[in-house]
Amino acid sequence: MIFRPLIQLPATSVIIAFFLLSFLVIGVFFSTHFHDFSSILQSSTHQKHSTLTNNTTKTPSNNTHRKTDIPLKCSDHNNNTTQTCPANYPSKPDPNPDTSPPPTCPEYFRWIHEDLQPWKKNGITRRMVDKAQKTANFRLVIHNGKAYIERYSEYWQKNRDVFTLWGILQLLRRYPGRVPDLELMFDCDDYPKIKKRPRRWPFDEAPSPLFRYCGDDGTRDVVFPDWSFWGWSDINIRPWEFLSKDLKEGNKKVKFTDREPYAYWKGNPLVAPHRMDLLKCNVSDKEDWNARLYVQDWEKEKQQGFKHSDLASQCLNRYKIYIEGSAWSVSEKYILACDSVSLVVKPLYYDFFSRSLMPLQHYWPVREDDKCRSIKFAVEWGNKHIEKAQSMGKTASDFILEDMKMDYVYDYMLHLLTEYAKHLKFKPRIPENAVELCSEIMVCSAVGLEKKFMMESLVKGPSDKAPCTMPPPYDRAALRALLRRETSALKLVEKWEKDYWINQTKHV
């Protein structure tokens, strides 16, 4: 899952996608059940409104010593009024900051510099941004600490843009006065679209900056944390802040050595041919590839109240398989957080953190073209080297549960947007068709799980901690060294695997 973007060498990227997949199939069933966010955006006629200040839900965590809260002001809905945004949002950081020096951000933040590399020299023009409108779902404008959105099309799976925007609004509540003025284009679709092409002339225009959830070796899209960090209401996946705690607790239930000594996977195979192919590795009367594979039927799960899709109770095997869906998959973090060894089928896509995962350190690489034999060997190796396997699982969990806690996800967004805005060569302005967006507009009229997850992930007020300190860019030598490390780990595993199978054949 590392460095292809810069260096033209083969590299692996690791991402997981089983939920996505399920969606292609099931999403349609859900889409009609969720409240129509676009109608809210369009109805911006102002009417008098009585304001009541709700007590927000319990503080998600009390490791901050925040003194000021930003109230959530919902107008009285029964009185036929339209929700408006409060005029007086705070525009300055918390006045009583914690004075201890902030920590340096985790290593994966360094990829922010790499993602913005194409614009480093000559910056980003309005024309470049506008050109990305072709596929974008919306344009986001931040102006004086407020968010405005111009919507071009609704992504069919509403959860995506709704919770992505919700996340950005929470960032503004967490760091008032810190998110700079900017304009950006966001595309909620799976596949990266801004193709890398060689620059033929020194004055060739740089590519369009387009934000999305994943990238690959051949593209330049800017990666941004996906919606699932604030919750995936369609399939009952809680905001990360809470789910990560559940996973942490869940890990204590069965210790590594007591877990089933097999490789587990549960997901929707219909979304991608390589997943259908994976199912061939399931245990049968004839063959045991050390894999235990299950099909996730989200429609059935939904009817049964999601009783069998609780992620925190799926950490019962020593090995968990990660395989991409149609593109990257949000399930990656849930699999890596299990304290089990993640067997990662060679991925094509990366998201904002996955480029910092190292084979043999955070995960075990599995071949895409020979999955069953690769998995069988991985499990046997792990069962023979139990301490090493256990520590690989723990390294991955620590990375996911510590370096990717919500505080850092917000810091990543802040740093990415700040660096991006530095490259803008024009003054951001609010387009005529844009509407102001605030937490009230989104949550006050929300219903069901969508409302629940929004209230849970609501940021109560400005952080009194400064964001982590942005690490410097990689220099070419450091990047090459990283890539070499990754490649040699992959080669090593390939060699072990080959020797193992030669030996097996000899002994048959």
- Report d(CA 178, CA 111) in Å as an integer: 21
**Which residue's CB is nearer to ligand NAG, number 286 or number 507?**
507
Regarding 444 and contact with ligand NAG (CB under 6 A), the answer is yes
CA–CA distance, 344 with 111 (Å, rounded to integer): 21
Q: Given the complex with ligand NAG, which of 6 and 270 has the nearer CB atom?
A: 270
Question: What's the order of all strands across the beta sheet hosting 260-267?
Answer: 291-295, 260-267, 317-322, 341-345, 364-366
Give the CA angle between residues 370, 376, 379 to the nearest 5°. 130
Cβ atoms of 236 and 246 within 8 Å: the answer is no
Min CB(215)–ligand NAG separation in Å: 31
**Three-state secondary structure string covering 270-287:** HHCHHHHHHHCCCCCCCC
Question: Per-residue x/- mask for ligand NAG, residues 307 to 346, rule CB under 6 A?
Answer: ----------------------------------------
Q: Could you count the other beta carbons within 10 Å of the beta carbon of residue 324?
A: 29
Which residue in 255, 265, 252, 268 sits closest to 378, CA to CA? 265
Token couple for 380: 């046997």
> Could you say which of 270, 295, 358, 421 contacts ligand NAG (CB under 6 A)?
295
Tokens of 457: 């992930």
Beta bridge pairs of residue 436: 148
Question: Tokens 């996955």 label which residue?
Answer: 354
Compute how many residues bind ligand NAG; rule: CB under 6 A.
24
In this complex, which beta carbon is closest to ligand NAG, that of residue 55 or of residue 100? 55
Shortest distance, position 118 Cβ to ligand NAG, whole Å: 41
Which residue number, 304 or 469, has a Cβ lying nearer to ligand NAG? Answer: 304
At CA 338, angle to CA 21 and CA 291, rounded to 5? 65
Q: For residues 39 and 63, which CB has a smaller minimum distance to ligand NAG in the complex?
A: 63
Pick the piece of the chain touching ligand NAG (CB under 6 A) from 121-129, 147-155, 365-373, 499-507: 499-507
Q: Check binding of 283 to ligand NAG (CB under 6 A).
A: yes
Q: What region, left, alpha or beta, does residue 177 occupy, with left being phi > 0 and alpha being psi -120 to 50 degrees?
A: left
Is residue 400 exposed (0-12), middle (13-18) or buried (19+ Cβ within 10 Å)?
Answer: buried
Q: Which of 423, 414, 422, 421 is nearest to 470 (CA)?
A: 414
Rounded Cα distance between 388 and 59, Å, is 38
Helix spans in 95-158 (H): 110-115, 126-131
Query: Which is closer to ligand NAG, CB of 255 or CB of 495?
Result: 495
In the complex with ligand NAG, the residue whose CB is nearer, 436 or 456, is 456
- Give least dist CB 294 to ligand NAG, A: 5
505 belongs to the binding site for ligand NAG (CB under 6 A): no
Smaller CB separation from ligand NAG, 191 or 294: 294
Contacts (CB under 6 A) with ligand NAG, residues 45-104: 48, 50, 54-55, 62-63, 72, 74, 76, 79-80
Question: At its nearest, how many Å lie between ligand NAG and the CB of residue 24?
Answer: 18
Among 89, 191, 294, 306, binds ligand NAG (CB under 6 A): 294
Please say which residue, 2 or 72, places its beta carbon nearer to ligand NAG: 72
Least separation in angstroms between residue 234's CB and ligand NAG is 20
Q: Which is nearer to ligand NAG, 40 or 129 (CB)?
A: 40
Q: According to the binding rule CB under 6 A, does residue 499 interact with ligand NAG?
A: yes
- Distance CA(33)–CA(29), nearest Å, equals 8
Q: What is the DSSP string of 356-385?
A: G--BTTTBEEE-SSSHHHHHHHHHHHHHHS
The answer to the question of residue 293 lying near ligand NAG (CB under 6 A) is yes
Which of 214, 272, 443, 490 touches ligand NAG (CB under 6 A)? 443
Stretch that binds ligand NAG, among 240-248, 311-319, 395-403, 496-504 (CB under 6 A): 496-504
CA distances from 385 to 262, 333, 390, 393 (A): 14, 24, 9, 13
Whole-number minimum distance, CB 296 to ligand NAG, in Å? Answer: 10
Among 18-26, 104-112, 241-249, 498-506, the segment contacting ligand NAG (CB under 6 A): 498-506
Question: Is 144 or 503 the residue whose CB approaches ligand NAG more closely?
Answer: 503
Q: Which is nearer to ligand NAG, 476 or 498 (CB)?
A: 498
- For ligand NAG, the closer of residues 36 and 76 by Cβ is 76
- Considering the complex, what minimum distance in angstroms separates the CB of residue 454 from ligand NAG? 8
Contacts of 283 (CB under 8 A, 6+ apart): 262, 289, 290, 291, 292
Q: Is 416 exposed, middle or buried (0-12, 13-18, 19+ CB in 10 A)?
A: buried
Site string for ligand NAG, 104-133 (x = CB under 6 A): ------------------------------
Q: What one-letter code names the amino acid at 447?
A: V
- Window contacting ligand NAG (CB under 6 A); options: 122-130, 290-298, 357-365, 387-395: 290-298
Task: Say whether residue 279 binds ligand NAG (CB under 6 A).
Answer: yes
Query: By the criterion CB under 6 A, which residues form the site for ligand NAG?
Result: 48, 50, 54-55, 62-63, 72, 74, 76, 79-80, 279, 282-283, 293-295, 443-444, 455, 499-500, 503, 507
